[in-house]
């Protein structure tokens, strides 16, 4: 009677090296973080907006797209917007209307930071240059200066060889 018999229908249990492996690990508790991040498991802390009364606005207009970046005086980006991120696809990204919507969206994001005055730096030969500047002025930001910073080649690339006809 000293020997105990195991029931035959019960499977044999494996010995567990670490007794804590039986319980699934809990995620660490983090205080005052809200899940704002994109994707699972990427929590981010909500932003505390700082006051930036004077900003620089960089408008990059190519034939295919328009990018508007608003920075503080040191060059740290506050807000940005592109024609593609505003729902325009293909050839519509390079239109003046897309540039207008892009500039107004970027200015509305910058309004959270209290931007009231700005210098505008325009780059590129695209069709939305003037429209973007008008949209910035219409959004309530006082335009202090407008500067064209489009790169000019100093005898840049070698031209293709002459065509023989």
Residue 19 predicted with pLDDT over 90: no
pLDDT higher than threshold 50 for residue 32: no
Q: Tell me the pLDDT band of 165, cut-offs 50, 70 and 90.
A: confident
Q: What is the pLDDT of residues 97-133, one digit of tens each?
A: 999 999 999 999 998 898 999 999 999 999 999 999 9
Tell me the pLDDT tens digit for each residue of 58-81: 999 999 999 999 999 999 999 999
Q: Flag whether pLDDT at 47 surpasses 60.
A: no
Name which of 141, 151, 148, 35 is nearest 79 in CA terms.
Answer: 141
Strands 54-61 and 117-123: what pairing? parallel
The pTM for the full model equals: 0.67
Domains of the chain: 54-148 (3.30.420.80)
The single-letter DSSP state of residue 34 is B
Average pLDDT on 38-47 reads 62
Banded model confidence at residue 39, pLDDT cuts 50, 70, 90: low
Backbone angles phi, psi at 127, to 5 degrees: -75, -10
Tell me the average pLDDT of the chain.
Answer: 83
Q: What is the mean pLDDT of residues 20-31?
A: 57
């Amino acid at each position: 009677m000293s020997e105990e018999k195991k029931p035959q229908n019960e499977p044999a249990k494996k010995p567990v090296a670490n007794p804590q492996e039986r319980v699934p690990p809990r995620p660490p508790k983090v205080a005052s973080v809200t899940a704002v991040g994109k994707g699972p498991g990427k929590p981010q802390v909500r932003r505390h907006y700082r006051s930036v009364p004077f900003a620089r606005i960089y408008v990059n207009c190519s034939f295919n797209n328009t990018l508007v970046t608003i920075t503080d005086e040191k060059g740290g980006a506050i807000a940005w917007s592109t024609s593609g991120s505003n729902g325009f696809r293909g050839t519509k990204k390079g239109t003046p209307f897309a540039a207008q919507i892009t500039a107004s969206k970027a200015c509305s994001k910058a309004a959270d930071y209290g931007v009231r005055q700005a210098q505008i730096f325009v780059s590129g030969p695209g069709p939305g240059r003037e429209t973007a500047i008008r949209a910035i002025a219409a959004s309530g930001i006082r335009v202090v200066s407008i500067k064209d910073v489009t790169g000019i080649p100093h005898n840049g690339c070698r031209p293709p060889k002459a065509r023989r006809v």
